[in-house]
Amino acid sequence: MSDNIVAKFGGTSVADYDAMVRCANVVKSHPNTRVVVVSASSGVTNYLVRLNETNVDEAERSAILQHIADIEYAILKHLGSPKDIQAALAILLSELAQVATDGELFESPWLKDKLLSYGERMSSLLFSEVLRQSGISAVNADVTQVLKTDANYSAAVPDIEAIAYEVKKTWLPEMAETVFVTQGFIGSDSEGNITTLGRGGSDYSAALLAEAINANELQIWTDVIGIYSTDPRITEHARPIPEISFDEAAEMATFGAKILHPATLIPAMRKNIKVFVGSSKAPLDGGTWIYQNVENKPTYRAIAVRKQQVLVTLKSPNMLHATGFLAKVFTLLANKNLSVDLITTSEISVALTFDNSQMLTDDIINDLSQFAEVNVDTGLSLVAVIGNRSFEREDYDNSLLTVLKDFRLRMVCHGASQNNFCVLVDESDDTRVVEELHTQLF
């Protein structure tokens, strides 16, 4: 198919009936939209996650199920409660109640993913009806039939070839006539059990489906008008970025900008699909385009911050003229499934940063202590300046370090990528660091 669009609407965009109508208008104004991917209505996934926590008592469980039903039925009512949709919704809600009270829930990762799937399944059912009522031919398509993954519940890995095959076989033949409304975030394994791609995974689902249908545009509709030069809560000078390259946007997503699920750009880059991020509340107010060849490549495009970073310094007297030390460190970390963000080395030491959320356990520290002197520093923030720094002499720009001269820099990473310059600062300084950089460089 040529000239076709996959549009994804996030939780706030499909929070209630009025929000869904705004999304329907967005779809209407883009007649080439072939697939619409929706998140669960705002708040629903958080409720579902709560249902899976062991300390939820009977009273809270039924209150949560009631809140969820209220959200869904309010939308249904605005739609005039069509019989077929009402019946389908009632089935989903009663299945959900069953899973939520299943005695096996806490021991069973696959039941947990099943539980988490209901938010998306209900919002897509309702949104497909919103589209039909606004005059667009639409079907509610079950994404688990095409979005095949492994069985790694709660963080399932998509099977790109299987997805392409299934989409071609079951969706493509009908796609010219009707819009496929489908669920983000979920898929299914080879046994047919429902899996999830991890929180915020709907963006990634949309990108995977865009790849599978050979879309030339992926739209991510959210509640902000695009990607900002930095978090607007940090500085009022933050402003939306009209365009950004895949490489820069990928760095941003990895280094803390919360706007896109970090894996979203991988399928888009693989297939060179341009990505648009905009607000379904203000679709005409512009947004951010992400693509391969941006026209303008400023030295400084954006600043991202990630709090709660851990800095681990490993010092080995044996590293002097020795080989294999780094290999040993990284093998150990890989075996523990720990991913390193930044690295700097000197002749006898290496410094690494980790996200605090990752489990840097005492065990791991002990293992490292077997062959190195280990020092762990916490309370740090990683500030990443994204842009297009040239390492060529003519336009090499050193102003970054000048701006940062008054701050304690625990680590500086520069040189591996032209698209990012990272510093590790005290968490208590991070806001001022970002403000200062933003004011001086942008």
CB of 11 to ligand ASP, least distance (A): 5
Asked if residue 267 binds Mg ion (CB under 5 A), the reply is no
Q: Which stretch binds Mg ion (CB under 5 A): 49-57, 97-105, 196-204, 342-350?
A: 196-204
CA–CA dist 339, 353 (Å, integer): 9
Please report how the helices 58-78 and 109-133 are oriented relative to each other, as an axis angle in degrees rounded to 10.
20
CB of 199 to ligand ASP, least distance (A): 4
User: Three-class SS of residue 183?
Assistant: strand
CB of 402 to ligand ASP, least distance (A): 40
Considering beta carbons, is residue 265 or 310 the nearer one to Mg ion?
A: 265
**What does the per-residue mask of binding to Mg ion show for 1-40, with x meaning CB under 5 A?**
---------x------------------------------
Count of helix runs (H) and strand runs (E) in the chain: 14, 16
Residue 306's DSSP bridge partners are 382
CB 439 within 8 A of CB 383: no
Considering beta carbons, is residue 202 or 309 the nearer one to ligand ASP?
A: 202
Asked if residue 262 binds ligand ASP (CB under 6 A), the reply is no
CA–CA dist 121, 294 (Å, integer): 37
Residues in 198-237 that interact with ligand ASP by CB under 6 A:
199-202
CB of 123 to ligand ASP, least distance (A): 9
CA–CA dist 73, 75 (Å, integer): 5
Q: How far apart are the first and last CA of the chain?
A: 41
Instruction: From the list ligand ASP, Mg ion, none, pick the one residue 45 interacts with, judged by a Cβ distance below 5 to 8 Å according to partner type.
Output: ligand ASP
CA–CA dist 206, 268 (Å, integer): 10
CB of 287 to ligand ASP, least distance (A): 18
Amino acid making up residue 181: V
**What does the per-residue mask of binding to ligand ASP show for 30-49, with x meaning CB under 6 A?**
---------xx----x----
CB of 240 to Mg ion, least distance (A): 17
Considering beta carbons, is residue 30 or 199 the nearer one to ligand ASP?
A: 199
Asked if residue 119 binds ligand ASP (CB under 6 A), the reply is yes
Quick one: which of 185, 221, 255, 289 contacts ligand ASP (CB under 6 A)?
A: 185
CB of 165 to ligand ASP, least distance (A): 24
CA–CA dist 180, 210 (Å, integer): 12
CA–CA dist 137, 243 (Å, integer): 32
Asked if residue 387 binds Mg ion (CB under 5 A), the reply is no
Q: HSE on the CB side for 120, CA within 13 Å?
A: 34
CB of 41 to ligand ASP, least distance (A): 9
Asked if residue 184 binds ligand ASP (CB under 6 A), the reply is yes
The 8-class DSSP code of residue 155 comes to S
Q: Which stretch binds Mg ion (CB under 5 A): 153-161, 182-190, 197-205, 341-349?
A: 197-205
Question: Which tokens sit at 93?
Answer: 């809600």
Asked if residue 262 binds Mg ion (CB under 5 A), the reply is no
CB of 203 to ligand ASP, least distance (A): 6
Residues in 40-99 that interact with ligand ASP by CB under 6 A:
40, 45
Q: How many amino acids of this chain bind Mg ion (CB under 5 A)?
A: 2
CB 32 within 8 A of CB 4: yes
Asked if residue 149 binds ligand ASP (CB under 6 A), the reply is no
CB of 313 to ligand ASP, least distance (A): 35
Residue 188's DSSP bridge partners are 148, 194
Asked if residue 201 binds Mg ion (CB under 5 A), the reply is no
Asked if residue 187 binds ligand ASP (CB under 6 A), the reply is no
CB of 119 to Mg ion, least distance (A): 13
Question: Which tokens sit at 433?
Answer: 């660091």
Amino acid making up residue 211: E
CB 368 within 8 A of CB 374: yes
Instruction: From the list ligand ASP, Mg ion, none, pick the one residue 201 interacts with, judged by a Cβ distance below 5 to 8 Å according to partner type.
Output: ligand ASP
CB 384 within 8 A of CB 422: yes
CB 137 within 8 A of CB 179: yes
Residue 196's DSSP bridge partners are 186
Query: Pairing relation of β-strands 409-413 and 373-386?
Result: unpaired
User: Three-class SS of residue 153?
Assistant: coil
Question: Which tokens sit at 117?
Answer: 């799937």
Quick one: which of 200, 226, 256, 267 contacts Mg ion (CB under 5 A)?
A: 200
Considering beta carbons, is residue 202 or 235 the nearer one to ligand ASP?
A: 202
Q: Please give the residue ranges that form the binding site for ligand ASP (CB under 6 A).
A: 10-11, 39-40, 45, 119, 184-185, 199-202
* Positions that interact with Mg ion (CB under 5 A): 10, 200
